[in-house]
Amino acid sequence: MKILCADIGGTSIKAAIIEETGNTIEFKEAPTESALGGSHVMENLIRLLRSYEEEYEAVGISTAGQVDSVKGEIIYANENIPGYTGMKVKAMLEEEFSLPVRVENDVNCAALGEAWFGSGKESTDLICLTYGTGIGGSIIMDRKVYGGESGIAGEFGHMVIHPGGRDCNCGKKGCYESYASARVLVKEAMKMDPGCDNGRKLFQRIQEGDVLMTELLDAWAKEVSYGLVNIIHIFNPALIVLGGGVLEQDLAFEAIRKHTFSQIMNSFKNVRLVKASLGNKAGLLGAASLFLNS
């Protein structure tokens, strides 16, 4: 089976034809132009998908925003894509292509990608967390997304870790992502050295022996571990897949592992923490998996 897949992000739309094996044919990328609004994004998406001449049997879409995956509609998208909330993505694409269409949120698609084709392919159940601007999370059971009552379960970034603490974008205080996102790590680094404005520079300073930056990374890894400890004690998962650019760094990953394992109960210590392995292709592969059976 060949599935035409797209991953709609804030800055670019990625697309490819993906086979059941995960084999990826003809990867393409085009600007989302999200500021121009949801209808414009849909036009860009359709143009990109129409540019494929090869045969395919279904269309799988990974997209930013909260998604009703049954109806294939956008429940809510923030101001990054104005007018995207309420977009009937599945209905529009089914009319355009006369093929089965499935739509899922990008965080869930990234987790599905890892579950089917990446670090989680040996496991049927896993938890996936991605540390970036915020913290995204997904719960995968039997290689399907566990969505909860409304399909939006797994908002691990908004667990309250520090009651009454820092303001969060969600309007609450003390959320996990206000302490443990990659954005916060870089923001804290910039307070000490305004030139240290991305993760790559931060890790370069640490490699060069910068003690303050090393301590900062360790303190951040401890914040990351608080969330993981809660998740491990709630779900007793066999596997947690951790993604995001900063987590690709062994120094960060090992510090997180150390702090996490020092805090969990002995009976939970069989959990495995692994790095995500698919990078920015995870969402596309996850979109293809929407048509696969476990």
Task: Give the residues lining the site for Zn ion (CB under 5 A).
Answer: 158, 168, 170, 172, 175
Supply the angle between the helices 211-235 and 182-192 in degrees, to the nearest 10: 160
Instruction: State the nearest-atom distance from the C-beta of 172 to Zn ion, in Å.
Output: 5
> Can you tell me the distance from the alpha carbon of 242 to that of 119, in angstroms, rounded to the nearest whole number?
9
Q: Provide CB contacts within 8 A for 151, sequence distance 6+.
A: 66, 67, 68, 69, 70, 75, 145
Residue pointed to by tokens 């697309």: 15
Instruction: State the nearest-atom distance from the C-beta of 274 to Zn ion, in Å.
Output: 26
> Can you tell me the distance from the alpha carbon of 145 to that of 151, in angstroms, rounded to the nearest whole number?
9
Instruction: State the nearest-atom distance from the C-beta of 77 to Zn ion, in Å.
Output: 17
Kindly tell me which of 11 and 78 has the beta carbon lying closer to Zn ion: 78
Are residues 197 and 213 in contact, defined by beta-carbon separation less than 8 angstroms? no
Kindly tell me which of 181 and 225 has the beta carbon lying closer to Zn ion: 181
Kindly tell me which of 210 and 223 has the beta carbon lying closer to Zn ion: 223
Kindly tell me which of 90 and 158 has the beta carbon lying closer to Zn ion: 158
Strands across the sheet containing 24-31: 24-31, 12-19, 2-8, 58-63, 101-105
| Tokens (6 digits) for 36 | 């121009």
- Residue-level length of the chain: 294
Kindly tell me which of 183 and 272 has the beta carbon lying closer to Zn ion: 183
Kindly tell me which of 37 and 174 has the beta carbon lying closer to Zn ion: 174
Instruction: State the nearest-atom distance from the C-beta of 214 to Zn ion, in Å.
Output: 28
Instruction: State the nearest-atom distance from the C-beta of 181 to Zn ion, in Å.
Output: 11
Instruction: State the nearest-atom distance from the C-beta of 138 to Zn ion, in Å.
Output: 17
> Can you tell me the distance from the alpha carbon of 170 to that of 157, in angstroms, rounded to the nearest whole number?
10
Kindly tell me which of 56 and 176 has the beta carbon lying closer to Zn ion: 176
Kindly tell me which of 160 and 251 has the beta carbon lying closer to Zn ion: 160
**CB-side exposure of 147: number of CA atoms within 13 Å?**
15
68 DSSP β-pair partners: 73
Instruction: Of 117, 121, 153, 130, give the one whose Cα is nearest residue 235.
Output: 153
Instruction: State the nearest-atom distance from the C-beta of 132 to Zn ion, in Å.
Output: 15
> Can you tell me the distance from the alpha carbon of 174 to that of 103, in angstroms, rounded to the nearest whole number?
32
Instruction: State the nearest-atom distance from the C-beta of 105 to Zn ion, in Å.
Output: 17
> Can you tell me the distance from the alpha carbon of 135 to that of 247, in angstroms, rounded to the nearest whole number?
12
